């Protein structure tokens, strides 16, 4: 029985976030729009975010003995620039970087791990669609679907969500509530790239990029950097009075057909999300009713209704009603993407969501703060992977 309890506990409360930092993406975006040339590449953006996260943590550079960098930056070069001589490290996306840091701390491979991401995607004119889409043939979905004009993830998500709308009856104005609510949150966030509120009328009259997805359903493309410092839990408590504990993590992959987005096109990742929900909630010892806020990976707005259903915040097919009632907005029962998310704050490929989760638990989000925020659930589902992290006090 004790072994079973330990297995369920897994990585719960092994590590805490003690430092967060990011670059000035609002200022940088405005400067680039005004014609100014970017001064930092992806490594420089990551380095600036790291310096700010280290300062936030109260640690010294020499305390860092682990390093994970985002896939947009070279691991060895980032370590050199940061002046880190770590004993353990590697590369990972935002969600897996957090999980890997917890695993390294649990196994004794590291005690204090820096997670660093930088991306100069706007200034370097990275394309996420077209004949020269980022990643090229390494993203097999581009190869398989190119003859039909599907050379971007947006086209595939549009196809998927059209089917979902037909099956569930979700209306365009209900999906539009995602973009409207996240822009309202961003209007309270001085760091957000897009701060001007929009109405549902603005959404419905905006241009389609790939029907049924409008302009406001698509994420931003901007430069930026994000960093987190994750520390062994006992040590974290000695560093600051408000370490943010990682209470649970979960992952489940649907590998069959994943490169062509088949799992999303056919089942909307619902089976994977339901399996991850059991993992992460069981490990954290909480349920959907205990979650104060959700941060959901939103390269497109349609991620939101699918995750709401997959993790049990509403029944399958019930996301339209949930959104229409505004339960996902600030002041609702489950505020989602309270910084503005990828749609309005900054497209940092899931890294910015981690910072918002930490700040909400700390209670430092100002006018967009969720009252009595005890637990924040982060969800991501891309390329066949469903991943979750629960942060809390």
Q: Which residues are catalytic?
A: 297, 347
Residue 110 token pair: 């590291």
> What is the DSSP secondary-structure string of 120-184?
-TTTTT--SSSTT-TTGGGSHHHHHHGGGT--SHHHHHHHHHHHHHHHH---HHHHHHHHHHHHH
The b-or-e profile of 184-211 (16+ CB within 10 A means b, else e) is: bbbbbbebbbbbeebeeebbeeeeebbe
CA-to-CA distance for 192 and 161, rounded, in angstroms? Answer: 27
Residue 180 token pair: 């409207």
- The dihedral through the CA atoms of 247, 252, 253, 254 has a sign that is negative
Q: Which long-range contacts (CB under 8 A, 24 or more apart) does 142-147 make?
A: 144/259, 144/260, 145/260
Task: Answer for the pair 64, 88: CB distance below 8 angstroms, yes or no.
Answer: no
Task: Answer for the pair 303, 295: CB distance below 8 angstroms, yes or no.
Answer: no
Cα-Cα-Cα-Cα torsion 161, 165, 166, 169, nearest 10 degrees, comes to: 170
Nearest residue to 225 via CA among 70, 35, 17: 70
Which phi-psi region, left, alpha or beta, contains residue 363 (left: φ > 0; alpha: ψ -120 to 50)? left
Nearest residue to 305 via CA among 356, 343, 332, 270: 270
Nearest residue to 328 via CA among 294, 277, 287, 355: 294
Nearest residue to 178 via CA among 306, 269, 312: 306
CA-to-CA distance for 26 and 140, rounded, in angstroms? Answer: 33
């Amino acid at each position: 029985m004790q072994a079973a309890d330990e297995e369920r506990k897994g990585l719960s409360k092994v590590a805490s976030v003690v430092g967060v930092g990011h670059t000035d993406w609002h200022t940088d975006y405005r400067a680039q729009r005004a014609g100014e040339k970017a001064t930092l590449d992806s490594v420089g953006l990551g380095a600036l975010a790291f310096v700010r996260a280290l300062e936030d943590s109260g640690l010294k550079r020499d305390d860092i003995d682990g390093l994970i960098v985002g896939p947009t930056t070279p691991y060895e070069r980032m370590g050199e620039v940061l002046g880190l001589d770590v004993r353990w490290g590697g590369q990972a996306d935002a969600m897996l970087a957090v999980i890997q840091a917890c695993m390294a701390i649990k196994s004794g491979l590291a005690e204090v791990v820096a997670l660093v991401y930088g991306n100069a995607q706007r200034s370097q004119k990275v394309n996420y669609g077209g004949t020269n889409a980022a990643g090229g043939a390494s993203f097999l979905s581009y190869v398989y679907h190119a003859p039909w004009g599907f050379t971007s993830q947006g086209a595939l998500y549009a196809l998927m969500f059209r089917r979902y709308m037909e099956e569930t009856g979700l209306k365009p104005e209900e999906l539009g509530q995602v973009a409207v609510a996240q822009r309202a949150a961003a209007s309270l966030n001085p760091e957000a790239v897009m701060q001007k509120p929009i109405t549902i009328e603005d959404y419905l009259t905006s241009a389609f990029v790939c029907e049924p997805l409008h302009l406001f359903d698509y994420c931003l493309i901007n430069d930026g950097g994000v960093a987190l410092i994750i520390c062994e839990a006992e040590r974290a408590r000695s560093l600051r009075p408000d370490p943010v504990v990682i209470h649970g993590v979960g992952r489940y992959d649907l590998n069959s057909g994943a490169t062509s987005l088949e799992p999303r096109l056919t089942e909307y990742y619902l089976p994977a999300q339901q399996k991850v929900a059991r993992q992460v909630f069981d490990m954290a010892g909480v349920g959907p009713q205990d979650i104060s806020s959700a941060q959901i990976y939103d390269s497109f707005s349609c991620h939101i209704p699918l995750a709401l259903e997959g993790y049990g915040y509403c029944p399958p097919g019930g996301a339209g009603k949930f959104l229409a009632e505004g339960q996902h907005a600030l002041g609702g029962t489950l505020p989602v993407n309270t910084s503005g998310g990828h749609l309005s704050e900054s497209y940092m490929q899931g890294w910015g969501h981690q910072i918002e989760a930490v700040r909400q638990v700390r209670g430092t989000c100002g006018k967009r703060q969720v009252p009595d925020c005890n637990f924040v659930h982060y969800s991501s589902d891309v390329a066949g992977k469903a991943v979750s992290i629960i942060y809390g006090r």
